[in-house]
Structure 1
Amino acid sequence: MTKNDSQKTAIIIGAGVGGVATAARLAKAGFRVTVVEKNDFSGGRCSLLHHDGYRFDQGPSLLLIPRFFHEIFRELGTSLEAEGVKLHKCDPNYNIWFGDGSNFKLSTDLVSMKSEIAKWEGIDGYERYLRFLQECHRHHEISVKHVLRKNFPSLLNMLDLEFLRNLFQLHPFESIYSRASKYFWTERLRRVFTFGSMYLGMSPFDAPGTYSLLQYTELAEGIWYPEGGFHKVVEALVNVGKRLGVNYHFSTPISSIALSPDSRTATGVVLASGRTLTADVVICNADLVYAYNNLLPPSSTGRSYAKRDASCSSISFYWALNQQVPSLTAHNIFLASAYRESFDSIFKKHLIPTEPSFYVNVPSRIDPTAAPPSTDALVVLVPVGHLLDNDSGSHAGAGTTSTTSTSSTTTQQDKTPQDWPSMLALARRTILSTIAARTGTDLAPLIVHESVNTPLSWRSRFNLDRGAILGLSHSFFNVLAFRPATRHKRIKGLYFVGASTHPGTGVPVVLAGSRIVAGEVCRDLGVGVPWEDGGKEGAGEKGREVGELDRVRRGPMVSWVHVFLMVVVAMVVSGVLFGLRG
């Protein structure tokens, strides 16, 4: 990799969302950027699968917190629209199917939600729902301002007075389920408003109450889907990066991160071919635990990260159907009747529940280009435990498998303590029987092609530690300053971006992380941060004068003197009334 004397250089390992976003940002700041990716495609888990006119999102299919998507393109000098990304709003957000034959439609529409909630908890339940939304809004806005916009390289950063003042408003020491139970009095609605913790790979009985912010963004801002698949966003970031000079090398695995002779500075990467690429900084978007234990010299830090709590994994089916299934909306949740037990099976036993909860995405319902006319593409995600034996099983050939190639997967799975062939069969059987019982549609005869991802293939294809699809867990002592840092503590010039470093998992959160990391790199190397003065939320148009109608004036405040006088008046009135009675 060549450079002139004045231009800073960066190598990014991995073309996942965090990698391509950081690459574009650093190129915008004037760096010469090279991205090396082991696969022949970008996006990592945000990639697509294709079969004979059918298209499937391999990973994420929900675009949440749209402000972060608009923000990065705006700060790169463009927009989603200008890059050809068209977002469709999903309505309803979800159709939630229960074992008793009923369902619940989650929506951003307040009139619809009033009707749905009143059906089960009466009109008072709707009032409690509005109070629940208020709490979730507070969680969301405080988290965006004090967590997703800031870095926490040490525990001292958590002693910031403004952060501490807001900490307890985030309810980090209570679970999502316990917080929801304060507002919803039936078990049905408690489940409706807590299943979203699955996006963090956590049980709602363990996930901190803070994360109800996920429910908020869905209920207040909606769920969106990019026409052409979620990968369209990644593709647009790649295109912007290329225009800014980013160099992409696909099908280029690396064997290690190159270090100086004293192992104190990252100097580049060593490719699997033996060639070395050098740069001023290295940003690792590969799975963080994998990187510490496979791309760097052995260390106690890497071993400790491998012992930390990880998120769950999934068995994901990608089904091409020969006809449409009108009963299914774009996003469907089938909840297990034994709700808590199903989560315990995943997160405590690391297995698949006998009756699992699962998610069904029908991209062709919102985007007809996902399937041939009069047919449907279905993605079914079943949360399961992550791999317990991280060293077992060959990585070779364990990628996404079709129905004609499951024998090789079985051989690998048999080497693990978990019986993956049995769990895979249980998942398929339970999904089909559950959908048939609750919707009246038997999908089995409609499936013309099937591909599958298991924890083994997630690990093999994307180097995910333990096959955990969402990286490290988000328990309280695994976030903020407790989470692996974005800058290596001992190796100068080495940074991390992605699900397992700060601020955490999820596409919008990783996008926020790319902003933090790119800014950190720029400041460390004395390069100006072009987006630092932009993107301020809550502001009007830049340079717009505030008129008289828009001037902020707080409403009248009730002082303690007024309170005291009202109490005195109340006591006097009470005394008079009692005197009259006497």
Structure 2
Amino acid sequence: MSEAVETKSPAPSVVVVGAGAGGVAIAARLAAAGCKVTVVEKNGFSGGRCSLIHRQGYRFDQGPSLLLLPRFFHETFEDLGTSLDSEGVTLVKCEPNYNVHFHDDTSFKLSTDISVMKSEIERFEGKDGFERYLSFLQESHRHYEVSIIHVLRKNFYSLLSMIRLDFLWHLFELHPFESIYYRASKYFWTERLRRVFTFASMYMGMSPFDAPGTYSLLQYTELAEGIWYPLGGFHKVVESLVNVGERLGVEYMFNSPIRNIQVSSDGKRATGVVFEDDNKEPLTADVVVCNADLAYAYNRLLPSTSFARSLLKRQASCSSISFYWALDRQFPELSTHNIFLAEDYKDSFDSIFKKHQIPEQPSFYVNVPSRVDPSAAPEGCDSIVILVPVGHLHGSSTDSHRGSKHTAGLTQDWDAMVAAARNTILKTMEARLNISLGPHIIAETINTPPTWKSTFNLDRGAILGLSHSFFNVLSFRPKTKHRSIEDLYFVGASTHPGTGVPIVLAGAKLVSEQILHALHQESRIPWGKATPENPKASINPLDRTQSGPYLSWLVWIMLSFLMIISASGAWFLQRVWYS
């Protein structure tokens, strides 16, 4: 008598191309859902732009240096059954958020401390200014919450996805057709504060005069939730996700650049990757997830299509000249985060986004990680990161690693731009803070648009991928799944929902769920499953939500209205009866 033997279907195999923040996050999520995951990475380190630079005992964050929207970081680890604390990641709050320095020797302190903000705002906008600031917070809070619910936690598979009633109901509430600068001008009446509350659009590589008003949510998260920094550098978050993934069975292959994503002979599905090293056998998989720069992936790793070529013409974010300076002493005049704004604010952005140059008077950001994390520099010294936003490369290729690029009569001479940027930075800080950094720089590392491009395969050296203009977001943004090749998905800055580490982490969750649904593995999704049958049963009576008193007032008003109508009707009938 034979016994029935239960056979389990083999775990789906997944290859993730790229070990950036999105790649390591989706690898850990899919592994937690039971998939066999391999990550292949061009470089010898994880994190991509979230990696670190080490020089002579100094440590620098190569890319992001401030942690915003902390809920997405906590959620990612909690979904994986752990936490930032459990993985040894300590977040410290940066206070103040920034010191903003103007050309007229005036500064403004941005803080989560409402008493500090009241004093700072009333200094320039008077007593009424603080009330307008609270109104600005109210609007940006609405942008923040609505965007998280209806954009960052939803996928947009087609234009029909934008016709959801719940989304359309809130669309105009997000002010997508007005710029951040325009919205800020409604609440702040001085040019100084309009600049203070709009410069953060640079986090998305956009001008505040073009970025949709929705993105005031960035100012909100800074002012309401604060700016945080992981001790040991931003890469500690990525490193911890790698460790979690490895515990779940993820295999990492570093120093393994690929030649292309392998496609079946009929061109209908992705089957794996082919390495540049011919000695390495192609890696096959049921699903391929690409975390490489999207324009690069479509044009270099996949068969050429008109859509792939169109990505090279889409509006891209800006690039940067970034200096990493090791100083032999500390400069307490600099806080953890510092902003130096150009006198001609609008013209500086026009130079970046219209001429793709460095402005004559650039605004720039200075980060001093050693101010909040002493391990970033030897004792008594400072490590400093300076980011100068500049235009991206004119074309999709450069003549040399750091040479000139000529397009339509315009010249991008990066050596000249680097020299001009360094000179401007040193002179500006000396003039505004009375400090001389130059003689104390003992080591220097530089990133420019060409190096961003060559090291991380970033199209046009655009450090934040595609722009976030209205027709580059939601259903207009490149999809998380290839339009014609099955089993091929994308995660990262240039696909939905967009750029920035927390947004990419939100995207990793969306795409991992999309993949598991396509594989009919929904039952394996380990996060967000268990909910109590009666969630209010265990809530303390003092904490239960109740209808506000406005309802009783509403009833009273309606009854009063009915009484007035009734009395008026009775009076009218009485007049008719006796007439």
Normalising by structure 1, what TM-score? 0.92
The answer to whether the 8 Å contact 1:19/1:497 transfers is yes
Q: What is the alpha-carbon distance in structure 1 between the residues aligned to residue 218 and residue 359 of structure 2? A: 24
Partner of 2:293: 287
Q: Which amino acid aligns with 1:449?
A: A
Partner of 2:437: 443
Q: How does 1:376-387 map to 2 (within 5 A)?
A: 376-387=382-393
Normalising by structure 2, what TM-score? 0.92
Partner of 2:40: 36
Q: What is the alpha-carbon distance in structure 2 between the residues aligned to residue 312 and residue 441 of structure 1? A: 29
1:530 aligns with 2:536: no
1:179 aligns with 2:162: no
Partner of 1:133: 137
2:490 counterpart (468, 472, 496) = 496
1:364 aligns with 2:370: yes
The answer to whether the 8 Å contact 2:318/2:353 transfers is yes
Q: Which amino acid aligns with 2:470?
A: F
Report the alpha carbon displacement of residue 424 of structure 1 after superposing the two structures with TM. Answer: 1.1
Partner of 2:254: 250
Q: How does 1:319-398 map to 2 (within 5 A)?
A: 319-394=325-400, 398=401
1:517 counterpart (511, 514, 535) = 511
The answer to whether the 8 Å contact 2:491/2:508 transfers is yes
1:115 aligns with 2:124: no
Q: What is the alpha-carbon distance in structure 1 between the residues aligned to residue 559 and residue 110 of structure 2? A: 45
Partner of 1:577: none
Q: Which amino acid aligns with 1:287?
A: D
The answer to whether the 8 Å contact 1:388/1:417 transfers is no
Q: What is the alpha-carbon distance in structure 2 between the residues aligned to residue 525 and residue 382 of structure 1? A: 44
Secondary structure of 1:56's match?
strand
Aligned CA distance change for structure 1 residues 566 and 198 (closer, same or farther; 3 Å)? farther
Q: What is the alpha-carbon distance in structure 2 between the residues aligned to residue 564 and residue 417 of structure 1? A: 74
The answer to whether the 8 Å contact 2:32/2:526 transfers is no
Partner of 1:550: 543
Q: Which amino acid aligns with 2:495?
A: T
Report the alpha carbon displacement of residue 65 of structure 1 after superposing the two structures with TM. Answer: 0.5
Partner of 1:87: 91
Report the alpha carbon displacement of residue 530 of structure 1 after superposing the two structures with TM. Answer: 2.4
Q: What is the alpha-carbon distance in structure 2 between the residues aligned to residue 303 and residue 286 of structure 1? A: 16
Aligned CA distance change for structure 1 residues 334 and 568 (closer, same or farther; 3 Å)? farther
Partner of 1:161: 165
Report the alpha carbon displacement of residue 413 of structure 1 after superposing the two structures with TM. Answer: 5.6
Report the alpha carbon displacement of residue 548 of structure 1 after superposing the two structures with TM. Answer: 1.8
Q: Which amino acid aligns with 1:551?
A: R
The answer to whether the 8 Å contact 1:208/1:476 transfers is yes
Residues 485-529 of structure 1: per-residue CA shift (max 9 Å, x gap): 000010000000000000000000000000000010111001135
The answer to whether the 8 Å contact 1:17/1:44 transfers is yes
Considering only CA atoms, is the larger Rg found in Structure 1 or Structure 2?
2
Report the alpha carbon displacement of residue 544 of structure 1 after superposing the two structures with TM. Answer: 6.8
Report the alpha carbon displacement of residue 549 of structure 1 after superposing the two structures with TM. Answer: 1.3
Report the alpha carbon displacement of residue 319 of structure 1 after superposing the two structures with TM. Answer: 0.3
1:473 counterpart (467, 472, 480) = 467
Q: Which amino acid aligns with 2:486?
A: K
Deviates more, 1:167-176 or 1:417-426: 417-426
Partner of 2:557: 562
Report the alpha carbon displacement of residue 423 of structure 1 after superposing the two structures with TM. Answer: 1.1
1:217 counterpart (218, 221, 230) = 221
Q: Which amino acid aligns with 2:544?
A: R
Percent sequence identity is 63
Q: Which amino acid aligns with 1:438?
A: R
Q: Which amino acid aligns with 2:399?
A: G
Deviates more, 1:148-157 or 1:550-559: 550-559
Secondary structure of 1:418's match?
strand
Q: What is the alpha-carbon distance in structure 1 between the residues aligned to residue 524 and residue 112 of structure 2? A: 36
The answer to whether the 8 Å contact 1:98/1:337 transfers is yes
1:65 aligns with 2:58: no
Q: Which amino acid aligns with 2:542?
A: L
Partner of 2:313: 307
Q: How does 1:234-273 map to 2 (within 5 A)?
A: 234-273=238-277
Q: How does 1:383-422 map to 2 (within 5 A)?
A: 383-394=389-400, 398=401, 409-410=402-403, 417-422=411-416
The answer to whether the 8 Å contact 1:523/1:529 transfers is no
Report the alpha carbon displacement of residue 561 of structure 1 after superposing the two structures with TM. Answer: 7.5
The gaps in structure 1 that reach 5 residues or longer are 399-408, 570-582
Q: What is the alpha-carbon distance in structure 2 between the residues aligned to residue 446 and residue 478 of structure 1? A: 44
Secondary structure of 2:288's match?
strand
Partner of 2:103: 99
Partner of 2:452: 458
The gaps in structure 2 that reach 5 residues or longer are 1-7, 565-579
Q: What is the alpha-carbon distance in structure 1 between the residues aligned to residue 329 and residue 406 of structure 2? A: 35
The answer to whether the 8 Å contact 1:389/1:417 transfers is no
Report the alpha carbon displacement of residue 417 of structure 1 after superposing the two structures with TM. Answer: 3.4
Secondary structure of 1:291's match?
helix
Q: How does 1:189-204 map to 2 (within 5 A)?
A: 189-204=193-208
Q: Which amino acid aligns with 2:213?
A: G
The answer to whether the 8 Å contact 2:184/2:198 transfers is yes
Q: Which amino acid aligns with 2:554?
A: S
Report the alpha carbon displacement of residue 559 of structure 1 after superposing the two structures with TM. Answer: 3.5
Runs of 4+ in 1 over 6 A off after TM superposition: 541-544, 566-569
The answer to whether the 8 Å contact 1:503/1:513 transfers is yes
Q: What is the alpha-carbon distance in structure 1 between the residues aligned to residue 305 and residue 413 of structure 2? A: 31
Report the alpha carbon displacement of residue 551 of structure 1 after superposing the two structures with TM. Answer: 1.8
Q: What is the alpha-carbon distance in structure 2 between the residues aligned to residue 176 and residue 550 of structure 1? A: 37
Q: Which amino acid aligns with 1:101?
A: D
Aligned CA distance change for structure 1 residues 299 and 435 (closer, same or farther; 3 Å)? same
Residues 134-161 of structure 1: per-residue CA shift (max 9 Å, x gap): 1010000000000000000100010000
Aligned residues: 549
The answer to whether the 8 Å contact 2:426/2:436 transfers is yes
Q: What is the alpha-carbon distance in structure 1 between the residues aligned to residue 348 and residue 244 of structure 2? A: 43
Aligned CA distance change for structure 1 residues 256 and 516 (closer, same or farther; 3 Å)? same
Aligned CA distance change for structure 1 residues 206 and 563 (closer, same or farther; 3 Å)? farther
Report the alpha carbon displacement of residue 73 of structure 1 after superposing the two structures with TM. Answer: 0.4
